[in-house]
Each structure stands twice: as structure tokens, then as C-alpha cells.
Copies of this chain bind each other. A is one copy, B any other.
Amino acid sequence: MALHAVCNRLHRDASRTSRFCKSRHDAEIANLDMAKRTRVTRPKAARIADVAQLAGVSVATVSRTLARPEVVIEETRLRVLAAVRDTGYMPNISARNLRVRKTMVVLVAVPDIANPFFAEVLQGIDDTLSAADYGLIIANLAGSPGKEARYVDLVCAGQADGVLLLCGHVMRSPDRDLRDARVPLVAACEYIPGEKFPQITIDNVDTAREAVGHLIKLGHTNIAYLSGPKSNILEQQRLEGYRQALREAGIAADAGLILRGDFTFRAGVEAGRALLALEPVARPTALFAANDEMAIGLIKTVHTAGLQIPDDLSVVGFDGIAYADYCEPTLTTIVQPRRDLGATAAAELISLMTNGRAGPRKDIKLPATLMLRDSTRAPRRSPS
């Protein structure tokens, strides 16, 4: 008989005839033996069989006691629970997952984890998911592009029960598509056109329209727009909202008032310089930035050059990042319900993972609010 078979036999016999401690000891010896040849493995940790043995019941009963205590008679239950305590037993989740074919893990794809906007959305996701005992794997798409493919493969390999997409697109690997992964998907924050899974967003068009409407109500008619990257859906929607607001107010669109940006602070600084390069009379009296970071960069730049905010220029941002309330002047902006966006998306995904497709597609729009602060005011001169 081969050595390893002997070890196994020993172990089994020991389990049958000895106390918990002895059988564990044999197992450890076997483990040490393996560890030398292969990689590092962790020794012991009570298994369900150890608990069963100590309690004098079958493993089935231990399993039931833990999963549905009410079906087990009290006396048994007490014995099992005591044994669980004494052995320090915790179920091996890999084994359970293998058995029930679930992973209890959700993959969250985020464009850039270092972006505070997403960090707070993640909090909402994490709260909801962990309350339902789901783990969270964060697929941070910033950095090497090969990562995205690896995550897709991971999900296709059944390593997650669901996916939350904050990245504005359905992830792909060279030969696989997330849609083929047979797990529910939910998108949040960045709407992905043409998909049939639930999407949790704010109404960017409407909210942008409201932001620009605020400037119009203050009396501005010469309103610039500082854009995000053209291909981004949020940019497209916010630009559309800007246009709608102008149209509704009967203000002619002026392509010269659209400054190209890319959502970065630096883009805001450059847009600020572009503004300063204009003749004072040619300058807009107000500006709507597609996000807060650009708005803050722009304010800082024009302010340093001597322009008064909001007297010479009113500025509205978008997102409601913490810093919008720290900067000077504080920034009037659209506050997104970041935590709630995450929590709602997670709840939707949990429902999908638990009950399967629950009827028609569900696109949920969460309310975003215009937060009035110190960066907006009526224009100095009444509109010409």
C-alpha cells in the first residue's frame, strides 16, 4: 500500500476510534508532509466531522443544526452547539459553495478606485452587500488593460454570483463577454445604452438642465459649458441638459461657449486660462462644468488672476464631492446620492441573485439635488 494511502487510512481509523485531539494530530502530520513538497498550506482548523464526533452525532445533524436549528431537537442542538464552541468550528466556505454552487461574492467594476466619487458609491454597495453576507471583489479598471479580461474570465469561471458595473460598459475579454457569464448584471452611475439589465442612475439630462436653469433664473444668458470627454455618456447627457435649458429659455446656442475638458482638475485650470485669454466683454458671466473637479480647477485659476467668483463669473459644478464644500468660494453643484446609488444597485443585484429575473427590466432614477452655495449669483450687469 502506498504511503499516502497509509496516511489516509491511519487518519480515518483515528477519526473513528479516538478523540478529537488525536485525529487532528494525525491530520497535521499528513499536512506537514505535504507542505514540504508543495506550497504552504495551513494546518488544522476543525471540520464538520470533528464537531460531529465530539457531539456524538452525524455530520448531517451538525450541518442542519447550523443551517436550520429549528428542525433539530433541543437536546441535540445543545450538544452540537457546545461541540462547535469547543472545537472553534467554522464552516469551510469553499466546500459549501462548491456544494450549493454559489460563491456569495459579487464583482464590482469601478473605473478608478482612487476617485473619491466611486469610493463613496462603493460604501453604499459594501454596506448592502455585507449585510446580506455577500463578499465584494473590486475590479479596479484603472491601470493595466489586461485586468479587465482577467476579471471577465473570473466571472465566467463562476467565481462570482453577480456583477455590478460602475464603468459605463459591459466588460469583455478577448474571447468572452460578461453577458455570457450566466450571472445577473446591474449597472450604476454610468448608464449603458441598449442593455436589458437594471440600471441605477440619476437623470443626468434633467439635472444638468436644472443646474443651467438656475443660472438662467439668476439672469445669466451668456453661459459657458465645460465638457467632459466626448465619448462619455455622462458628458453627453449633461451637455444635452445644458442645451435643453438654453433652448427652453430661448437663448441661442453658441458653440464658442463650449470648452473642451476631460473631467480632470487640470482641464479646469486650462479652461480657466482660456477664459482669461478672452476680452473681458466677450467673457461669459456664468459657467456650468460637467463635474466638480474641473469647476474647482477653473475657479482657482480665474480667481488667482483677479476675477471675482461669483461676481465676475458664476460657476456650477456636478457631483457634490466633499471638496466642493471645502474650496473657496464653496461650489454650487449637483449633489449625487452616491451612497444610495451604490446601495440601490446592490439591493437590485441581490434580488436578482436570489430570485432570478424578477419581471421587466428596471431602470431606477435616483434624485440628485442642486445644492446652492457661494459660487453663483446674478450677473453684475443686467443682460445686454
Q: Residues of A at under 8 Å CB distance from B?
A: 38-45, 88, 90-95, 97-98, 100-103, 113-116, 119-120, 122-123, 126-127, 130, 135-138, 140, 142-144, 147, 150, 153-154, 156-159, 176, 182-183, 265, 296-297, 300, 303-304, 322-323, 326-328, 353-356
Contacts and interface: CB of A to CB of B under 8 A. Distances in A.
Given A98-B94, A113-B119, A326-B323, A138 B140 contact: no
A91 B122 contact: no
B123 A113 contact: yes
B323 A300 contact: no
B101 A42 contact: yes
B101 A98 contact: no
Nearest to A159: B93
Contacts of A100: 38-39, 41
Given A41-B101, A92-B158, A182-B43, A150 B123 contact: no
Stoichiometry, copies per complex: 2
A297 B322 CA distance: 12
A202 B355 CA distance: 49
Contacts of A322: 265
A242 B143 CA distance: 37
Contacts of A126: 113, 138, 140, 143
A355 B326 CA distance: 47
Given A90-B157, A92-B158, A326-B300, A354 B138 contact: no
Contacts of A158: 42, 45, 90, 92-94
Contacts of A41: 100-102
Contacts of A147: 130
A328 B328 CA distance: 8
A330 to B, nearest CB: 9
The 4 closest A-B CB pairs, nearest first, are A90-B157, A94-B98, A94-B97, A114-B119
Contacts of A122: 113-114, 138, 140
Contacts of A95: 98
Contact of A326 (B97, B113, B154, B296): B296
Nearest to A98: B94
A338 to B, nearest CB: 9
Contact of A328 (B102, B304, B354): B304
A145 to B, nearest CB: 13
Which of A101, A127, A297: most chain B CB closer than 10 A? A101
Contacts of A354: 39-40
A309 to B, nearest CB: 11
Nearest to A89: B157
Contacts of A304: 328
Contacts of A91: 157
Contacts of A355: 40
16 contacts: A39-B100, A39-B354, A40-B356, A42-B182, A45-B182, A90-B156, A90-B158, A92-B98, A93-B159, A114-B116, A123-B140, A126-B143, A137-B137, A300-B328, A303-B328, A327-B327
